[in-house]
Structure formats: structure tokens, C-alpha cells
Amino acid sequence: MKYRVRVDLSFDSEADARTLLGQVRALAAKAVPPVPGGPNVEVSYWELELCRHDEGLPCRRLERGEVR
């Protein structure tokens, strides 16, 4: 059994978003893949995006990390 965390939060401040991202990166070193190995390996990940939906534009991925 594993404990899985899923979070999707938007911030007005880039500093706040990067603060949370720093905590995620630090803990990601302890993370394990939900289903390791095999052809259907499931990947855990984190992403930082620039969301511009309020401007009528799409999101743009700035960073992504994966746990395989």
C-alpha cells in the first residue's frame, strides 16, 4: 500500500508557487513509483506551469519532474 498526493493549485505569486515546488522537489527524493517495473509502469510527477487561461491563452509548462 502507498499514500498518494495529488495537488493542483494556482497562485498569483510566482514566489509562492516556487516555494511549494521546492518542498515537492525535496520530498520527491523519497517518492516511489505507484506501480514499478513492467510494460505499464505508472509515473508520479510534478509540474510547474504558467497558466494564462485568465488571458484567454493556454498554459505553458515551465518545469516537470518524474519519479519512475
Q: What is the pLDDT of residues 23-65, one digit of tens each?
A: 999 998 898 877 777 777 788 889 999 999 999 999 999 999 9
Q: CA 66, CA 59: separation in Å to the nearest integer?
A: 19
Q: What is the pLDDT of residues 2-26, one digit of tens each?
A: 898 889 999 999 999 999 999 999 9
Of 61, 42, 39, give the one whose Cα is nearest residue 51. Answer: 61
2 Cβ contact list (under 8 Å, min separation 6): 32, 34
pTM here?
Answer: 0.76
3-state class (DSSP) for residue 59 = coil
The Cα-based distances of 44 to 7, 13, 16 in angstroms read: 12, 25, 22
